[in-house]
Structures are given as structure tokens and as C-alpha cells.
Amino acid sequence: MAYMNMKKSTIITALTAMMLVAVGLTGCKYFKPLDGPGMERDSTDLSALGDSVSIGDSLNVVADDAAQKLEMEAVQAFVEQFYNEWGMENLLDYDYPKQHITPRLLKFLADSYEFECEGECLATWKFFYEGGGDVGEFKSRQITARDGNHVLVENKYVNYEYDVLLTVIKDGDTFKIDSLQQEVRALNFNEDEY
């Protein structure tokens, strides 16, 4: 066996190091178990990280509360239905999106329309792509609730990837999209790398 060939001092050093790491992790403030209602025994206290966690960090939102989880699922289902029932082929059909957006977003889409037009014109393409060119064939869409008010929509095309973060608010017994923030992540990316 491989460990038979190791020197006794090497084995003792390795075992000592493993014990020190184990003891150090159990006493570390970053791995302190939380106690209290709704907290599982294996929960981890991330508040000890303080300001070292920034908004740009890729952290998964974990909803401790069942109501928050249900709200996230409802918001995501609303956005999925919005995209399934109204797509890029209907960009000039403003009736459907107008039922599902707030007056604030309606004004933003009207103000963002930069071309000549007669009557009401809305920059509805902003739900799907930045505009101004051929994005290629549509490949896929991923919709992910970030929390009870924000949903990330990732649109992937053959030569283009476009993400939009939607802010969704409660409006009576339904939801409405209140704002969108665009983020173009990749232009003309190599399909083999993706």
C-alpha cells in the first residue's frame, strides 16, 4: 500500500494538519451554526462576512421563509407566462404588454423609441434584445427569480446574448413589470465556446 512507503514523520505531519484544519473550521466564526425559529442546524451565518460581500458577487438567494419562496415562484411564473404569450414576433402588438406593465415602464418604452413613427410607438424589443442589428436565430431563454421583485431573463441567440433584469411589483391580485435593466453580455461569441 502507498502509505506503507511513507515515512512515519510524514504521516504524523499530515494527520496533525488535518486535525488542525478540522478544529479550525469548527471554531471559525464564518461557520458558526445559527439557532432559532426557521433555522436548520446546518445553516451558516454569512453575516460574519460583513461588507466583504458585494452586490456583484454571484450568490444564490436562499429564501428562508416559505412565503418568500412562494412569492419568488409566483413572480417567475408571471414573467414566464408574459414571455410565452407574447414574443418577438409580436413586437408591434402593444396591447398584451400594456396589460402587464406599469405606467412608469410604458413611459420608459415610449421615450426609448428612437425611430419615426405615427401614433403610439414603444421600444418593446428591449424585452428581447438591444436592437440595431441582426441577432441571429433565437436559441434559448432562461428565466430566474432573484427575489420576490426581480427576475433575470437571459435570451440567447446564435450570435448574441442579451440579459434583462425585470423589476416586478404586486398590483392587486396579479403582478406588473415596473422596470427593466438591460445587460448585453456577449456579442458575436463563438458558439463552440458557449
Find, among 107, 100, 105, the residue nearest to 84 by Cα. 100
**Is residue 190 a contact partner of residue 123, using CB atoms and an 8 Å limit?**
no
Separation CA 168–CA 105 (nearest Å): 11
Q: What is the pLDDT of residue 49?
A: 45
Q: What is the pLDDT of residue 168?
A: 97
**Is residue 153 a contact partner of residue 161, using CB atoms and an 8 Å limit?**
no
Torsion sign across C-alpha atoms 53, 55, 60, 64: positive
Q: What is the pLDDT of residue 91?
A: 79
pLDDT string in tens for the chain (194-residue length): 444 444 555 555 555 555 544 444 444 444 344 444 444 444 444 444 444 444 344 334 454 578 889 999 999 999 999 999 988 788 788 999 999 999 999 999 999 998 888 888 999 989 988 775 666 788 899 999 999 899 999 999 887 888 999 999 999 999 999 999 987 665 555 444 44
Q: Which residues is 155 bridged to in the sheet?
A: 141, 162
Cell of 92: 408591434
Domain 66-187 belongs in CATH node 1.10.1760: no
User: Max Cα separation, the chain?
Assistant: 86
Sequence spans of domains, the chain: 2-52, 66-187
Q: What is the pLDDT of residue 134?
A: 67
Cell of 163: 440579459
